[in-house]
Structure 1
């Protein structure tokens, strides 16, 4: 866990009072003399840029750990349902949390989008990354190796954040045969360069720009960190390759996805957690699972206090203190009886209001995010499953490799091993759902594989299912951003 000083982060956050992409920066640029350190002064030294990068990681952590993004893919895909309310006015009732109510029903609104904050915060993060990139080369008190490392991490953050935006606001890469459908705005200049009104790239161009940022970053990384803290808390060459493998898979560039995932598996120096330790590794209250490649660790103050973690949404403390999101029976039914991953669910009986009567019902809280967990961005198991899926998509499909990788994950889980190569595409899809649940993949996996959404257990929406293709597989661009930028096209149906 990174031991950040919260006051440092807050003061630097104030420095970046950037309303978001395409919005006016006049307030920021016209601070009263003596009340604010200017961008030029702050980013004119190595220490200033390091402070900026530290703050940037904190902003990324808050953005992906926030309720909206943290639950999005699993909730929309059907891995998650809700727990009964603990508030006195609706005690025992099962309601849709306000922050995600419209999105959950596949009926978000551009005028008041549930995810407007995620959109604006993502572009704020990108803008901050751009500032670091624009100022780092001019540093006179940093070595070239240090400058390269700073730029590599900023590029990786810029690519990662654009990728998340594309997953949420652009249809999957294969939605059109040539990926000519709308992607996202790809921002490579800070607002200090002047107000810009860019148009959305095509999906093809969006991915090309993401991949360019990642490959540029990989060419700059050194073996020495510039920030202090656990290695797994920061982007480095290995976990940036893990990001690249995920991007290639989303693009259905199976050859590069296969080779990149294979590189990570072979050369990362990280090993899969074994069966004996799998549950205990996830149950650790503070440290991440040992096969982690990148965790966005929660900031911790000098006094050891923690501002928040994923346990806010997924944790269980007592019969009156627990998170709103638990596993659906749809997910639980996928596991075989002897699959040790079933032990990753904490069963708790909670009084639930059903037909005006309160009855005890069992709810299944994930053990992945109890205590003070960080956000799991990349871990090694995903790379095996990327290699398996990519092996099936090669021009000459490598069915045996796909079977072997699936069996590696299954053997650890004490699940039945595959004896043949029948229907492997569906098998790897389901194995991803079981292994990576609550880690933010399912809905994007459904879209990438052109499947339909089917939510059964616990679904309280008027729209529990959605047939692919659908315009509702993406969220609306917030109206405030559309109003500012005349070149920003909305998503259809919103």
Structure 2
């Protein structure tokens, strides 16, 4: 990692993130060697905001976030069968990656690159009287939320990892691993601080939900507390989001058309399309939806065993999957996002954004947290049935704790199939990965739950050790 911020540029996405209405003229700061020291970058509100824009720009244009987080993690789990010929995709689908695989390089490099940018902002804001207090507070909080999000992704991919909180390459280049538990503690500290300092609306981004606010931090905190077994805190943060009145579940009648679109009422945090923020389609749709519904062009087939788990009235089966009958067999593909090209989205007059966080998760987080605590099974059941009712599925009256937890886990799978890393992370988190995947994949092994550290990282950092089992 370098210690200077290269040739800082504000692009259209940066303008959108900052709530500006147009695309700013490129801002270039050109001291000798085209490098700008952090001291110069953080000498005005405008240049500090430009640094934040650069961080978001890296995030939104990263294939790790806008494509791989969903596609790769879907392959790792059990919701789809991969029918294509791509070598890396086949390794992921078979959970057969090794130290010779390259699949871990992009997430490792991407998340640490964004963390570096977040660290630069956080450090640049410290004791900085050149920046207005309001801007300082907002930028620091947004950078901490982003750092927490990246570390959550890293710790769920690699387990123990270096916890880098500096921009000093003489330190970061030689940091050993920190335990996953300690990384989670830093995630919680960052999100707690962000929650305390962010606005409770989307004013910074002109009400567009590509921005983050206090409830974005609370939603992430609810997820992190669930993953770390702190169920009371998980339920509390989820309740804050649910009670905020900023969000509402997409009505049942519109579940197929109004949920994964720009500024949907259910979205807590969205991401505009990469490369060009004026585009109207997502990379996820481009990956999952075939160019034509023929056997040679369908690469991601939802497992028939999974489709059979949905009740006949469940709209998620008919609105979030698309079917083709080929040689008498039904091939279902993910269809949450509907338009695989810009031309198709424009023709339909629809703008789809990748959804990072949405309200349905908060109901299911609170349902599981309440069920695990065992003190409010009625509340857990109510939350579960809220999601089932919206989907058109049959409600349940399960009152036994173990059975209720099973029902909630199944509902999580149905609600979030082929979406971000939900199914893969939940299999790992709940200790079900070995039993479920061993039964489906002959090449699966327990060490497959984590990726190997990229060899190039090991070669450059003598204090870094390989993931156990590799």
TM-score bin (small chain): 0.7 to 0.9
Shift of 1:331: 2.3
1:335 to 310, 321, 325: 310
Q: Distance in 1 between matches of 2:31 and 2:215?
A: 44
- Residue 164 of structure 1: how far off its partner (Å): 0.6
Instruction: Determine the structure 2 residue equivalent to 1:45.
Output: 44
Contact 1:349 1:360 in 2 (8 A): no
Give SS of 2:136's match: helix
Work out the number of aligned pairs and report it: 437
The structural deviation recorded for 1:202 is 1.5
Q: Which residue of 2 aligns with 1:368?
A: 336
- Provide the secondary structure at the position in 2 that maps to 1:233: coil
**For the residues of structure 1 that align with 2:154 and 2:390, how far apart are their CA atoms?**
33
1:437 aligns with 2:426: no
Of the structure 1 ranges 73-82 and 62-71, higher mean CA displacement relative to structure 2 is found in: 62-71
- SS, match of residue 333 in structure 2: strand
Q: How far apart, in 2, do the equivalents of 1:402 and 1:194 lie?
A: 46
Counterpart secondary structure, 1:310: helix
Q: Distance in 1 between matches of 2:227 and 2:270?
A: 21
TM-score (norm 2): 0.83
Determine whether 1:211 maps to 2:188. Answer: yes
- Name the CA distance, whole Å, in 2 between partners of 1:79 and 1:258: 27
1:397 aligns with 2:375: yes
Equivalent position SS for 2:405: helix
Residue 98 of structure 2 contacts residue 452 of structure 2 at CA under 8 Å; is this kept in 1? yes
| Structure-1 residue corresponding to 2:342 | none
Per the alignment, residue 237 of structure 2 pairs with: 260
Deviation of 1:318 after TM superposition, in Å, equals 3.8
Matched, 1:418 2:419: no
Q: Does the aligned pair in 2 maintain the 1:169–1:477 contact within 8 Å? A: yes
Question: Does structure 2 retain, via aligned residues, the 8 Å contact 1:3–1:299?
Answer: no
Contact 1:102 1:108 in 2 (8 A): yes
SS at 1:281 equivalent = coil
**Residue 23 of structure 1 aligns with which residue?**
none
Match of 1:287 among 262, 267, 278: 262
Aligned partner of residue 267 in structure 1, secondary structure: coil
CA apart distance, 1:63: 4.5
- Give the C-alpha shift of residue 339 in structure 1: 0.9
Name the SS for the 2:209 alignment partner. Answer: helix
| Aligned residue number for residue 447 of structure 2 | 471
Does 1:381 find its partner at 2:349? no
| More displaced stretch, 121-130 vs 66-75 | 66-75
**Which residue is equivalent to 1:87?**
none
Question: Does the CA contact (< 8 Å) of 1:46 and 1:139 recur in 2?
Answer: no
CA distance in 2 between counterparts of 1:380 and 1:259 reads 14
Deviations 1:240-281 (A, max 9, x none): 100000000000111111111112111253111221222221
Give the Cα separation in 2 of the matches to 1:393 and 1:147. 39
Tell me, in whole angstroms, the C-alpha distance in 1 between the residues paired with 2:183 and 2:49: 28
Say yes or no: does 1:150 pair with 2:139.
yes
* CA drift at 1:368: 1.4
Unpaired stretches in structure 2, ≥5 consecutive residues: 1-10, 16-22, 340-350
Unpaired segments of 5 or more residues in structure 1? 16-30, 83-93, 171-182, 352-358
Kept in 2, the 8 Å contact 1:74–1:80? The answer is: yes
Please say if 1:311 is aligned against 2:285. Answer: yes
Deviation at residue 307 of structure 1 after TM alignment? 9.1
When residues 491 and 49 of structure 1 are mapped into structure 2, their CA distance, relative to the original with a 3 A threshold, is same
Deviation at 1:117, TM superposition (A): 1.1
Normalising by structure 1, we get a TM-score of: 0.79
Structure 1 residue 77 corresponds to structure 2 residue 77:
yes
Q: How far off is 1:224 after superposition?
A: 7.0
Mapping for residues 473-492 of structure 1, pairs under 5 Å: 473-492=449-468
Q: In 2, distance between residues paired with 1:378 and 1:292? A: 6
What is the distance in 1 between the residues matched to 2:328 and 2:130?
Answer: 64
Residue aligning to 1:4: 13
Provide closer, same or farther for how the CA distance between residues 483 and 327 of structure 1 changes in structure 2, counting only shifts above 3 A.
same
Q: 1:58 to 1:322 in 2, by over 3 A?
A: farther
Output one character per residue of 1:10-42: Cα deviation in whole Å (capped at 9) or x when no partner.
989x99xxxxxxxxxxxxxxx992534444433
2:34 match: secondary structure:
coil
Native 8 Å contact 2:14 2:50 kept in 1: no
Structure 2 counterpart SS, 1:347: strand
2:385 to 407, 414, 419: 407
* Residues 158, 333 of structure 1: alpha-carbon distance in 2 compared, 3 angstrom cutoff: same
Inter-CA distance 413–319: structure 2 relative to 1 (3 Å threshold): closer
Moved more, 335-344 or 383-392: 335-344
Mapped to 2, the partners of 1:281 and 1:206 lie a distance apart of 36
Structure 2 vs 1, CA of residues 191 and 363 (structure 1 numbering), >3 Å: closer, same or farther?
farther
Structure 1 residue aligned with 2:8: none
Query: Which residue number corresponds to residue 125 of structure 1?
Result: 114
Q: Secondary structure at the match of 2:332?
A: strand
What does residue 354 of structure 1 align with?
none
**Residue 477 to residue 229, structure 1, CA distance change in 2 (3 Å):** farther
Report the Cα distance in structure 1 between the residues aligned to 2:206 and 2:81, rounded to whole angstroms.
35
Counterparts in 2 of 1:307 and 1:33: CA distance versus 1, 3 Å: farther
Q: Deviations over 1:60-92 (max 9, x none)?
A: 23244344322233222211223xxxxxxxxxx
Distance 2:65 2:94 in 1: 22
Residue 290 to residue 323, structure 1, CA distance change in 2 (3 Å): farther
